[in-house]
Amino acid sequence: MTHRAADVSDISAKLWGKVSQWVDSLIVMFPNLVVAVVVVMVGWGLGRLARRLVYGALARLHTPHSVNALVSWLASVAVLAGGFMVALSILELEKAATSVLAGAGIVGLALGFAFQDLAANFIAGVYLAVRFPFREGDLIETNDTLGIAERIRIRTTTIRTLEGPAVMIPNKEIFTSKLINYSETGLRRVDLTVGVSYGDDLEKVRRVALVAARQVERRDPAREVELFYEAFGDSAINFTIRLWIRFREQTDYLGARSELVMRIKRAFDENGIAIPFPIRTLDFGIKGGVPLTEMRPRVFVGKDDSA
Q: Could you tell me the CA-to-CA distances from 75 to 69, 104, 164 in Å, in that order?
A: 10, 20, 37
**Residues 138, 180: contact at Cβ < 8 Å?**
no
Sheet holding 237-246, edge to edge: 187-196, 237-246, 226-232
Percent of residues in the chain assigned helix, strand, coil, to nearest 5: 55, 20, 30
Which strand (E) or helix (H) includes residue 294?
helix 292-295
Q: What is the pLDDT of residue 109?
A: 56
Does residue 288 register a pLDDT over 70?
no
Residues 6 or more apart in contact with residue 69 via CB below 8 angstroms: 55, 154
Q: Which of the four pLDDT bands, split at 50, 70 and 90, describes residue 307? A: very low
Q: What is the pLDDT of residue 268?
A: 94
Section 30-42 average pLDDT? 76
The per-residue pLDDT of the chain, averaged, comes to 78
How is residue 9 annotated by DSSP?
A: H
Q: Could you tell me the CA-to-CA distances from 76 to 51, 83, 127, 133, 170 in Å, in that order?
A: 5, 11, 20, 26, 26
166-185 pLDDT, tens digit per residue, is 999 888 888 888 899 998 88
Q: Alpha-carbon distance 104 to 101, whole Å?
A: 5
Section 142-161 average pLDDT? 87
Give whichever of 26-30, 235-239, 280-284 has the largest mean pLDDT. 235-239
Long-range contacts of 120-123 (CB under 8 A, 24+ apart): 120/172, 121/154, 121/155, 121/156, 121/170, 121/171, 121/172, 122/154, 122/155, 122/171
**Residues 138, 181: contact at Cβ < 8 Å?**
yes
Q: Alpha-carbon distance 39 to 82, whole Å?
A: 10
Residue type, 138: D
Q: What is the pLDDT of residue 74?
A: 76
Query: What whole-number percentage of the chain has pLDDT above 70?
Result: 66
Q: Alpha-carbon distance 68 to 129, whole Å?
A: 9
Section 99-111 average pLDDT? 59
Greater model confidence, 110 or 191: 191
Q: Could you give phi then psi for residue 233, rounded to 5 degrees?
A: -85, 180
Greater model confidence, 18 or 301: 18
Domain architecture of the chain: domains with CATH: 2-114 (1.10.287), 134-181 (2.30.30.60), 187-270 (3.30.70.100)
Lowest average pLDDT, out of 111-115, 125-129, 169-173, 192-196, goes to: 111-115
Q: What is the pLDDT of residue 306?
A: 47
Greater model confidence, 207 or 10: 207
Greater model confidence, 124 or 149: 149
Residue whose C-alpha is closest to residue 258's, from 226, 216, 215: 216
Does residue 187 register a pLDDT over 70?
yes
Residue type, 184: E
1-12 pLDDT, tens digit per residue, is 555 555 556 666
